[in-house]
Homo-oligomer: A and B are copies of this chain.
Amino acid sequence: MPDHGNLTDDLPPAGDAEAFDTLFANPSLRIERIVSHGHASPEGFWYDQPQDEWVVVVQGEAVLAFADGGHLTMLSGDWVAIPAHCRHRVESTGMNTVWLAVHASPNP
């Protein structure tokens, strides 16, 4: 039986740091679960990633901000494809917010 699980298994308790778990990785990609409890990117911090990233909110809510001034409020099932070097930050998250993030390989 291949490796399997549930996206909401074993959620870390509120109050802990944002939690990152790699669910799958191969030379092409990496799939990560992120659990947030009201976390946000530090003031003035922008992600500027060398690879494309695709994320979906599994449960909870979050607001992403983009360097062009746009904001995206995300609820369960909402996804966004963030191109490489598209500067963005996590403006806010709710409690028990679960993300699924798919990171493309840096050297496809």
Report yes or no: B28 in contact with A54, Cβ–Cβ below 8 A: no
Which of A29-65 touch B at CB < 8 Å? 29, 31, 51-52, 54, 56, 58
Report yes or no: B66 in contact with A7, Cβ–Cβ below 8 A: no
Interface of A is mostly: strand
Q: Least Cβ distance of A8 to chain B in Å?
A: 5
Q: Assess whether A15 is interfacial by the CB under 8 Å rule.
A: no
Q: Assess whether A10 is interfacial by the CB under 8 Å rule.
A: no
Q: Assess whether A13 is interfacial by the CB under 8 Å rule.
A: no
Q: Which residue of B lies closest to A75 (CB)?
A: B6
- Count of A interface residues, CB-CB < 8 Å: 37
Complex: A86 Cα to B1 Cα, angstroms = 9
**From B2, B23, B28, contact of A29 by CB (8 A):** B28
**From B1, B5, B52, B79, contact of A79 by CB (8 A):** B5
Q: Which residue of B lies closest to A5 (CB)?
A: B79
In addition to A3-B81, A6-B78, A28-B28, 7 A-B residue pairs with Cβ atoms within 8 Å of each other are: A2-B66, A2-B82, A2-B86, A7-B78, A23-B79, A29-B29, A29-B104
